[in-house]
Amino acid sequence: MAPTSLDRRVLARGWEPAIFYDVPNQPDLHRGEIVDLLGSLVEKSLVLYENGRYGLLESVRNYGRDRLASASELEAVSRRHALHIATLLAEAEEGLSGPHQAEWMDLIERERDNVRGAVDYLLARKADPECCRTARAICVSVWKYWSRKGLSLEGLTFLEKASGDDSGDPRQLAAVRSAAGVLATFRGDTDRARSHLVRALELRRTIGDEDAVGRTLNNLGMLLNNVGEFDAARKCYAEALDLFRPGGPSYAYGTMLLNLGNLERYTGRDEEARLVYEESRAVFRRVSDPEGEALSLYNLGLMLADHGEHTDAIELYRLALELFDSIGNERMQAWTLASLGEATLKLGERDTGEAIFRQSSELRRRASEPLANAFALESWAEFLAYDERWGELATLLGCFDSQRESLALQMTPAQIAAQDRLTGAARSHLGESTFADLFARGVAYSPIDLLPA
C-alpha cells in the first residue's frame, strides 16, 4: 500500500523522518521527495506501510544499521533521532493533563518503541550533558503515559537512570525526581518514593517555584496517606492548598482536592470526603480534564459502595470507565473494573461480576504492579466467599495480610470491616486450626498467583 495524500500532508506539517536531515553524506531532500522515496521503497518491500506508519523488516533494519555503522554515520543518525523524539514530545506532559489527553496518549503509544530507543541511546551517553538533558526531558514528558499504561516499572527504571548523580539543571532534575516518586508510590515502594519526593521538594523550594512546590507537596501527601501518616499528609495538603488557591482552578488543584478526599475517607470522615470529591470533579470539568473527572467519579463510587449503595456506585464506575478508556488509562481501567465486578456481585449478578473482574485481572497481569495486585485480592475475596470456597479464601487472606504489611497498605474503615467479616466467615466454616494453616500458607504466594487467570 503506497502513501496517501494524507501522508503527504502529515509530512509537510513537519512530522518527517528525522534521519534524512542534518546527517553527513545525506542528500538534501524536500519533504515531497521524501514521500516519493518512501513510496518507492514500499513498492520494493524494503519499507512497510500500515495504518499510516512506516516500518522496516528486522533484517532490513539490521542491514541499514550495519551500513550506517560502516559509513561512520550511525552515531549521527541515532542522535538526530533522539532529538527528534524529544522535540516531538516536548509538550506531552502538559498535553497529558488537558483536554487533548487521548490524542497525546495515542501519539506516544505509536512512538513507544522510538521513545525506548531514544532514551536507551541517550542514557548510554549521559556523561554528555546534552544527552543527559534530552533523556530527562523525554522521561518527564512521558511519565504519565507510563503510569496509565501500567508501565510504572519501566518508567521508574528510566527516570532513576536519568536522575543520575543529581547534576545538571535543578528544575529539570526536580521534575525527574517528582515523576519517579509518583511511579514508586503507585508501585507501593515507599522508601524509593519518599526519597525521590523529598529530594524534589528540596530542589523546588530552593528554586522558589511555588506551583511546582505545591505539586510536589500534593504527591508527597498522597504517599504519606498511603502509608498511614495522616497528620503529615494533611499538612502537605494544607500548604499545597495555600499555594494553589490564588491561581484558581487547575489540574494540580483538582488533584490535590482528590487526594484530600482520599485522606478524609481513610480517616472515616465520609461526608467530608464526599464534598471534596464533588468539588474535585467540578474543578476537573472546568479545566476539561477527563482523567481527573474519572478519578473523582471512581472514588465517589467507592464511597457509595462502602455504604451499600451498589446500584449508584455502578453508574459512577461505568462513567469513570468510559473516560479512562477514552484516554487509554489501562491502569485505572483495571482498578475500576475490579470495583465494578465486585459491586455487580453484590447485586446478585455473580457470573457477570466475575467476567468483569477477569477483565480487570488480565489488565493487572500485564502491568504487574504490586500495589494494584494486592488490592485486587480484596475484590476477589468477595467472589470466593460468595462461592463458599473457604479454603481458597483463607489462603488469599493470608497473602493479603502479608502484602499489607510489606507494602504498608492502608485501609478505610469500610475495608477493614469487610476484611473482618470475610475472615470471620472463613474461620467459622473451616475451624480455627484449618483456617490458621491455610492463612499461613498464603504468605508464600504473590497476589498474581491467586488472582483468576
Give residue 120's pLDDT.
96
Report CA-CA distances (Å) from 232 to 19, 129, 203, 217. 51, 37, 20, 11
**CB distance 212 to 179 below 8 Å:** no
Neighbouring-strand partners of residue 49: 54
Give residue 44's pLDDT.
79
pLDDT exceeds cutoff 90 at 67: no
**CB distance 439 to 401 below 8 Å:** yes
State the cell numbers at 286. Answer: 472546568
Alpha carbon distance 219, 184 (integer Å): 11
Give residue 16's pLDDT.
34
Give residue 164's pLDDT.
87
Phi (first) and psi of residue 250, to 5 degrees: -160, 165
State the cell numbers at 344. Answer: 455487580
**CB distance 400 to 448 below 8 Å:** no
**pLDDT digits over 359-405, tens only?**
999 999 888 889 999 999 999 999 999 999 999 999 999 999 999 99
pLDDT exceeds cutoff 90 at 251: no
3-class SS at 248? coil
pLDDT exceeds cutoff 70 at 191: yes
**pLDDT digits over 130-140, tens only?**
999 999 999 99
State the cell numbers at 452. Answer: 483468576
pLDDT exceeds cutoff 80 at 174: yes
164 HSE (CA, 13 A, CB side)? 22
Burial 323-349 (b: 16+ CB within 10 A, else e): bbeebbbbbbbbbbbbbbbbbbbbeee
Give residue 27's pLDDT.
57
73-208, CATH topology level: 1.25.40
Neighbouring-strand partners of residue 55: 48
Cα 383 to the center of its chain, rounded Å: 27
Give residue 228's pLDDT.
93
Domain with CATH 1.25.40.10 in the chain: 73-208
Residue 56: left if φ>0, alpha if ψ -120 to 50, beta else—which one?
Answer: beta
Reference 47, options 32, 36, 57; nearest CA is 57
Q: H-helix or E-strand containing 48?
A: strand 48-50
What lies within 8 Å, CB to CB, of 218 at 6+ separation is: 236, 237, 240, 252, 255, 256, 259
pTM of the model: 0.86
Give residue 453's pLDDT.
82
Report CA-CA distances (Å) from 205 to 50, 199, 200, 337, 368. 48, 10, 9, 39, 35
Q: H-helix or E-strand containing 421?
A: helix 413-430
Q: Where are the beta strands (DSSP E) in 52-181?
A: 53-55
Neighbours of 272 (CB within 10 A): 15
Give residue 31's pLDDT.
66
**pLDDT digits over 8-52, tens only?**
333 333 333 333 334 445 556 676 777 788 788 888 777 888 777
pLDDT exceeds cutoff 80 at 55: no
Q: Average pLDDT over the chain, rounded to whole?
A: 89
State the cell numbers at 261. Answer: 478526599
Neighbours of 43 (CB within 10 A): 12
- Between helices 152-163 and 129-148, what is the axis angle to 10°? 160
3-class SS at 164? coil
**pLDDT digits over 327-371, tens only?**
999 999 999 999 999 999 999 999 999 999 999 999 998 888 899
Confidence of residue 409 (pLDDT cuts 50, 70, 90): confident
Ordered DSSP codes for 208-230: T-HHHHHHHHHHHHHHHHHTT-H
